[in-house]
Structure 1
Amino acid sequence: MTRRLTRRFFAVAATLALSAAGNTQQPQSAAPAAAPAMAAPQAGYTFASPQTLTFTVDWRVFTAGQAVFHLENVNGQMKVTATADTLGAVNMLYPVSDKYQASFDAGTGCSASFSKQIQEGRRKVNTDLTFNYAAGKQMLFERNLIKGNTKQQEAPIPACVTDSLSAIFYAASQPIVVGQNITLLLADSMRVV
């Protein structure tokens, strides 16, 4: 499995989780340039907590891996954890053991943090992303555990964003109607789409 297939592995699992959370539309790749602000969760909406979604991912005729998403409410802050692991023969060809964590405010839907620990083949990278809404910035700190180097970056964000993990559960908090659009301001790779 290549790095591209690993991303697809997680993307497939995330799409399945989004469907399980109640989405009835296909996600769009980017928001318009002048996108409106993200809406807070519907009044009276309660995130199902604790909630665990488990998916098996097949690669042709082989079971390639498993993705597990877990959501838990900790004092009004929603904590999301996800794992993506290869299984069986695929694990011997290209082992993947990725872990993701995110948190977002249950009342506003705004993400507070996102982190990932990537172990894909020989690649091992830890990334932490935090959101400072008062300063209007997202801050990234990345460590390559194999090469030993680090990277820090800052980029502007609007008043409220979601991350790629929290977005799965945030979407379920919106009144989704066939034929209407829902706006997600997704902070990903130091940009907002």
Structure 2
Amino acid sequence: MDALFSVIGFAVAVVMLAIAGASAVLARSSDVAAAWRQERATVLFVVSTQRWRRVMVRVGGCMMAIIGVINLVGPLSRPEDSPARRIVGLGALLIGAALVWLAHGMSRMRLEVAPQVVFVSRGFLPPIRVELADITRLRPHVAHRYSGVLAKRGRRTAFTATSAMTGYGQLLAHLKAERPDLFGPGGFR
């Protein structure tokens, strides 16, 4: 029974990482991804989360995974330890694996801006092609703690960007140059 928690913890962490890898491979094999690869040379700039945020999440995940492994393997040498330590170790290992997975997804979440199109990469999902002509309105992103912008196509959100992202100022300048009709005297229309 002592080794069972360790085996389950490692198996679940490996399965989570395998799912992340498989979803990343499948996301890049779609038709939109093929068009994205062909037009990648025309990308002017990229809007993405700041690198230090992804690194901090990844480091925190690795530390949690190490703590989880220590708590899972430690009771094997000391059988008198409480089984609660193994449960805590399993939980820490799963949280660590989830944080590493989240950091990988954060590195793939970005907007790649070309002259008349924005490719929206949403983590492990295939990229979405958003033509600038299809954007019906821009709205301030008030639900986020950083100011930002929501681009709408009809009633659906095409993409969002916050001021904490690198390239946010370039995105607003590009949208203002390409689609001045979306901007009013005091901001967005």
Asked whether the two chains share a fold, i.e. TM above 0.5, the reply is no
Structure number with higher helix proportion? 2
Larger radius of gyration: 2
TM-score interval for Structure 1 and Structure 2 normalised by the shorter chain: under 0.3
Structure number with higher strand proportion? 1
Structure 1 length-normalised TM: 0.26
Structure 2 length-normalised TM: 0.26
